[in-house]
Amino acid sequence: MGELTVDSTAREMAAAITAKEISARELLDLHLARIAELNPQLNAIVSLDEERAREGAAEADAATVRGDAPGPLHGLPFAFKDTHDVAGWRTTYGSPLYADHVPDVDELVVERIRGAGAVTIGRTNVPEFATGSHTFNTVFGTTLNPVDPTRSAGGSSGGAACALRAGMVPLADGSDMGGSLRNPASFCGVVGLRPSLGRVPSWPAANYWETLSVSGPLARTVDDLALLLSVIAGPDDRVPTALGDPGSGFAAPPEVPLAGLRVALSPDLGGLLEVDAEVRRVLERAGVALADAGARVEPAYPDLAEAEDTFRTLRAWLFQAAFGGLLAEHPDAFKPSLADNIRAGEGLTGADVARAYERRTALSDRMRLFFTSYDVLVLPTSQVPPFPADQEYPHDINGREMATYLDWMRSAYLITATGCPAISVPAGQTADGLPIGVQIVAPFGADARLLGVARAFERLGTAG
């Protein structure tokens, strides 16, 4: 394995702790040193509590001495996304309205990660209420890209992806409504999975039946991502929409040969996406690499024309339900783009919402039929490379104006509307070295096979 560093894999770290080659306290010290070195500039980890982290690491070491059976994440330092409630830890949701909020109960994904032995060290930065794919807020400021600090780290799991790439943490949790796991993974050059609906259940929740947003894992490698998915996936009696497969089944991705794999490759979903030329180049090179490995790569895409209205309608409806009261009470406490999106939900009728659900059902049926002809769909994760961090969002792509802060994220949120699992895997770089990921989409429920395909693609080494 060689000398263990903060850039080692999470699996290597866990194995070293189990073998008593390194203590949890020593591993924590390595990560705290990296955080002290890089976080002042990058601003990925917030609400860092070194004293409590050291107490947690000492408890992990005491468990090792006692001979307690180690959990799969035993002794690994972990900073939770600042929208996931952690009992006893400041949780702000990136909003000044919650700047001093301390929850009493762990969210389910947090409960599972802590139960697997992870050592809590702090939180990872988010945009306000996790909205928009650029991580900035008035509580903690802006998270910068670890490859080029003049650029965005993406969002809303931007702090998580940045901290991962920079070696501040070995694994990270996140959530994804319109691309919040996938876009920052692409921008920072890590792996991010939006699982199938119900794969990673959320509790507590205001509405178990609306699953536009899901929780999921981020990691530096597909194998590490599978490790974290095995911890956070699986049924829970409190969540009626949870899928029944136990999480442990995802720990070891299946071997999926690329030879004969039926790949639908689409740079723009038939013209629905405006895509930066460098992103398109990386996607086309990925297609060539897959074909060279024996995959049957064809230009093809499902018809997702209704996904635009479906996603935007349901998103506005959910935002109005979640934040409408707060906005009315604190009209000046929201960033303008979020306030506008909340107000867009005020004029929706029952017929509008019903139409969105009917179209979402049709999209699901269409994807099921599409995947009888193809094993995976490959398209851009993000339509642009990382953009300047002093912009809220890219205002144009190839000269085509992006009218709202959502327009440039279509490649991610159109897939959201289908309910299918999607993973972003590093695939290449721009001419000046900025990371670009490709998005691989599989049929609903085929998360394990998707991990196998992603790992096989990762092994092609296209990102280097």
Residues with catalytic function? 81, 156, 180
**What DSSP line would sit under 218-249, residue for residue?**
EESSHHHHHHHHHHH-S--TT-TT---S-GGG
**CA 221, 188, 228, 199 torsion: positive or negative?**
negative
In angstroms, the CA 356 to CA 210 distance is 12
* Cβ-contact 423, 195 below 8 angstroms: no
Non-local CB neighbours of 104 within 8 Å, separated by 6+ positions: 87, 88
Q: Classify strands 191-194 and 172-176 as parallel, antiparallel or unpaired.
A: unpaired
The CA-based angle 101-102-104, given to 5 degrees, is 135
What gap in Å lies between CA 22 and CA 143, rounded to an integer? 31
Cβ neighbours for 327, distance < 8 A, ≥ 6 positions apart: 334, 339, 342, 343
CB neighbours of residue 235 within 10 Å: 16
User: Among the residues of 87-220, which ranges form H helices?
Assistant: 108-115, 158-165, 182-188
At residue 74, what is the residue type? H
**Which residues are 296's β-sheet partners?**
262
Compute CA distances 220 → 8, 9, 256, 302, whole Å: 9, 7, 20, 30
